[in-house]
Structure 1
Amino acid sequence: MATNIRGNTPLCFDTFHNIIDGELSCTAETRHTVNPATLENNPDAPLGTVDDVNRAVRAANRAADAWAKVPWDERACAIRSFADTTEQKSEDFVRILQKETGKPMIWARHELATCVKYLRGFCRLSLPEEVIEDAAERKVVTRYTPLGVIVGIVPWNYPVQLSCVKMGAALLTGNTYIWKPSPHTPYCSIKLAELAQRFFPPGVVQILSGDNDLGPLLTEHPDVHMVSFTGSIPVGKKIMESCSKTLKRVVLELGGNDPAIVCKDVNPADVAAKIGFVCFCHAGQICINMKRIYVHEAVYDDVLAAIVGLVQTLKLGLGEDAYMGPITTKEHFEYLKSLLEDVERRGFNVAIGSTKPLSDMKGYYLAPTIIDNPPDDARIVVEEQLGPVLPFLKWRDETDVITRANNTKTGLGASVWTRDMEQAERLRKKLKVGNVWINTHAEIQTNITFAGHRESGFGVAMGINGLKACCNAQSIYTRPADAIVQY
């Protein structure tokens, strides 16, 4: 059964359906998640099937040619209108985003604001034809044409922000977009996709919610032309293998174990405040978060003491004054518990926090925890925590700290903290990552290319290069009709 939702039909945040070809689409079976802060059941969400996938892909292909013919400025106008209305209704989205992710109010609002910012930011970009050569005897131009149908597979930590990055680039370049949210966090995404029906023709923006079996149906589908995935390295490898069967394009933004290198000339209190602000945002569940903090031995004790003081001020919960919420999924909560059990088993020093979950809070809560100078082979150092558990490590020699920072198969981001810009330049040139920040961390924007090195990614997102990733390149060679070509 399908229900038409064109026009200004009010959004209902109690019922959730897939959206196929501009209509609400019911499914025979549903599933639900739990609120990670309260462990109460969230509403039923659709459980998509192979038939839903086939119908959505057919609708996306039907819509693709017409959407590609819409002028660039008109496509940008539609995206801006969608962003404007999302902003107007953001508090409704914030409430449901909190229930599925456990984000405190500050970070749920931040995610919605970032979605709006990114959608508007893409609309300021353009991808005109590139004139490579323009002479009397020959003109050469390269242009970029849409691929067709792009699938965005999105993780649970930033379910709407990360999809807006994928969707904005896909729609602006003339592609249709099928949104596949994480099984853990489908709700806010479904409602945003429902809102999108007011601004885009049927089939241009669709959403399919389901379990983990749904993803392979999309990645293997011969009529899907690109898959953009953000998530874990093991799943990214499976997606790349699946896409290879039909030679469809793939962009992967995978995990990272980002190092931060703190030099001896910093102001300890200032750096600790900035690092703590990033590291404990959304309980550390950010792919480009700092995961290993290397602090020069000359300031190690002062920086550690300053961040311990900061952590003591952080309030947990969901309210207006809360800074850190719970872990979003039970599976990841159990993983982080195993890392903390290893810390306890190996007898590492816990500067602040706990190796046990917070027993006085009902949800998946862990205390913000700092591990004081564990060995480099500790799981808490080697593995990506993606949580509020942070190892602080001492260093003395530049060559040594660079070797340690690069001693990982990943390469998403890294930061250097120093007043000495010459030292910053020396260090940043040797870091094997896609994104380097000096005296800041985790800043990204739509006009700047975002990429991961090594096992942190394949392909690029954002910026002009991110737009090109959604396109086929076509070069046109033109000579006068009466020209004689000498080979």
Structure 2
Amino acid sequence: MSADMNFTMTINGKAVAGTEKFGVENPALGEVFAEAPNCTQAELDEAVAAARAALPAWRKTPIEKRKEVMLAIAGVIAQNGEELARLLTREQGKPFEQAMGDVLGGAHWFAETAKMDIPEIVSQDDDERYTVTRYEPIGVVAAIVPWNFPIILAAFKLAPALLAGNTVVLKPAPTTPLTTLRLAELIRDVVPAGVLNVVSGDDRLGPWLTGHSGIDKISFTGSTQTGRKVMEGASKELKKVTLELGGNDAAIVMPDVNVEAIAQELFWAAFQNTGQICIATKRMYVHKDIYEPLKTALVEYAKTVKVGDGSQQGTQIGPIQNKAQYQRVLDLIQDSKDKGYKFLIGGEASEAPGYFVPVTILDNPPEEARIVQEEQFGPVLPLMSFENLDEVVSRANDTIYGLGASVWSADIAKAQEIADQLETGTVWINETQHLSPHASFGGAKQSGIGSEGAEHGLLEFCQAKTTNIRRNAAFV
């Protein structure tokens, strides 16, 4: 792929080069390798107007026809998977195989969502009255996607929004816009003009989009801090919102597990995608009876993992995606050093070009440590011991976040008992990070509002309308 490839926005089914540009870095090198359109206010107005104009026809399109469009999108993604994945590796940094998972995961999400139907609920049907609740599209949706999984997380929003009959303006993250722009180029002949508009831009674009008077619904994935700003902006016109926000997921490892067999799975629960996953394990609580052997097993496995440029064969962990996040992770590491916390491995910035941080594991830092309390979103894991269940459940729940958690045990009944006490939207037992288009996913506490996936997620993009029909009225 040529480094000087031209990328365009998609507005009303047409290519829009944009009057302004901004650079996109390869995080493995820390160098700009391409440019993307920097959407202006006027261009955003065009995108929103195009979505508004396309809405009447799209919402009237039979759902089976809308499903055909979604399946066609899935097909285009799959057919162009390698091209998209290689581009994604360059701008995001993740190893090629993981980039393929992101891309093909998006195709899977479209295809599986197309199997769903919008429910119709009859709550009364008797001689007196017929009452039915139907679900209609909300209108024009602003879909805002983060930089860690640009394609599959876009599909989380686009698939249910389009199935429900909405039109969309999609904004990828400023540091990973290219794969999304390219995908939009590939599906221009598949999606009716104006139904899906894709715009890219720097940090000014997000507030413009969420505050736009032509937007009816915002679906945002990102940090809790930014989610608060999105919600504040949406409150001015009471726009509907779905917010999938940050997490500080705890893993609770019970003493009955096989330490050698489980170490690798626990490692990747924390370090997959360089730890840049909202549902990655951010805190690992290990029972004191196995704490020493498990920490040794984790460190020994970590020594075998290859960190490097995601485009190079054999790389398992890539760079941190952008400079700002890189500096934040280094700041958390430095804070841990300043406080005198013990490091089992890592803790130093790489001397290689790009935004690399070696795998870093801390040994039993205190609960009040920043590395425990804050979401690190990088390859750094605090490992901590516990003695009893009441204690560890209390520690796991003592956070503003409530996205996910995991419990690891040979005793499934006991693991379920623990899971029932965890204050999160999702709990995994003996696994983590498994998501399905057919299962609801959303956060408790300050990890989000609403949900994605399954019928719950589909109805996030619908407006309920109840119709009451009185039967046998005397005047008819």
Residue by residue over 1:316-339, the C-alpha shift from the partner in whole angstroms, topping out at 9 and shown as x without a partner, is: 223231110000000000001111
2:326 to 315, 325, 333: 333
User: Which residue of structure 2 aligns with residue 370 of structure 1?
Assistant: 361
Matched, 1:152 2:108: no
Residue by residue over 1:85-119, the C-alpha shift from the partner in whole angstroms, topping out at 9 and shown as x without a partner, is: 21011111011101111111121111112111111
1:358 to 350, 370, 375: 350
State how far apart, in whole Å, the 2-side matches of 1:461 and 1:445 are. Answer: 10
User: Which residue of structure 2 aligns with residue 72 of structure 1?
Assistant: 63
1:320 to 313, 324, 332: 313
User: Which residue of structure 2 aligns with residue 415 of structure 1?
Assistant: 406
SS in 2 for 1:467: helix
User: Which residue of structure 2 aligns with residue 38 of structure 1?
Assistant: 29
SS in 2 for 1:451: coil
State how far apart, in whole Å, the 1-side matches of 2:191 and 2:3 are. Answer: 20
Matched, 1:123 2:114: yes
User: Which residue of structure 1 aligns with residue 13 of structure 2?
Assistant: 22
Residue by residue over 1:341-360, the C-alpha shift from the partner in whole angstroms, topping out at 9 and shown as x without a partner, is: 1122122221122x22111x
State how far apart, in whole Å, the 1-side matches of 2:212 and 2:421 are. Answer: 41
State how far apart, in whole Å, the 2-side matches of 1:42 and 1:167 are. Answer: 28
* Corresponding letter in the other structure for 1:229: F
* Corresponding letter in the other structure for 1:472: Q
State how far apart, in whole Å, the 2-side matches of 1:364 and 1:23 are. Answer: 35
Count of paired positions: 474
SS in 1 for 2:31: coil
1:234 to 212, 225, 231: 225
2:215 to 214, 224, 239: 224
428 and 195 in structure 1: CA distance in 2 versus 1, 3 angstrom threshold: same
User: Which residue of structure 1 aligns with residue 99 of structure 2?
Assistant: 108
CA contact (8 A) 2:130 2:471 kept: no
Matched, 1:452 2:464: no
User: Which residue of structure 2 aligns with residue 188 of structure 1?
Assistant: 179
Structure 1 residue 271 displacement after superposition: 2.0
* Corresponding letter in the other structure for 2:338: R
Deviates more, 1:91-100 or 1:315-324: 315-324
Which runs of structure 2 are paired with 1:84-99 in the superposition (5 Å)?
84-99=75-90
Structure 1 residue 13 displacement after superposition: 8.0
User: Which residue of structure 2 aligns with residue 294 of structure 1?
Assistant: 285
12 and 473 in structure 1: CA distance in 2 versus 1, 3 angstrom threshold: farther
SS in 2 for 1:450: coil
Matched, 1:344 2:344: no
User: Which residue of structure 1 aligns with residue 162 of structure 2?
Assistant: 171
1:462 to 425, 428, 453: 453
Residue by residue over 1:144-198, the C-alpha shift from the partner in whole angstroms, topping out at 9 and shown as x without a partner, is: 0001100111111111111111001100111011111111110001011122212
Structure 1 residue 128 displacement after superposition: 2.8
State how far apart, in whole Å, the 2-side matches of 1:130 and 1:484 are. Answer: 28
> After TM superposition, what 4+ stretches of structure 1 lie above 3 angstroms from structure 2?
481-485
User: Which residue of structure 1 aligns with residue 471 of structure 2?
Assistant: 480
262 and 13 in structure 1: CA distance in 2 versus 1, 3 angstrom threshold: farther
User: Which residue of structure 2 aligns with residue 397 of structure 1?
Assistant: 388
CA contact (8 A) 2:55 2:195 kept: yes
Identity of aligned residues (%): 39
> What TM-score, normalized to structure 1?
0.95
State how far apart, in whole Å, the 2-side matches of 1:484 and 1:264 are. Answer: 74
CA contact (8 A) 1:256 1:413 kept: yes
Which structure 1 residue ranges, 5 or more long, are not aligned?
Answer: 1-10
2:372 to 360, 367, 381: 381
State how far apart, in whole Å, the 2-side matches of 1:362 and 1:126 are. Answer: 49
Which runs of structure 2 are paired with 1:249-268 in the superposition (5 Å)?
249-268=240-259
> What TM-score, normalized to structure 2?
0.97
State how far apart, in whole Å, the 1-side matches of 2:246 and 2:60 are. Answer: 37
CA contact (8 A) 1:284 1:387 kept: yes
State how far apart, in whole Å, the 2-side matches of 1:462 and 1:47 are. Answer: 31
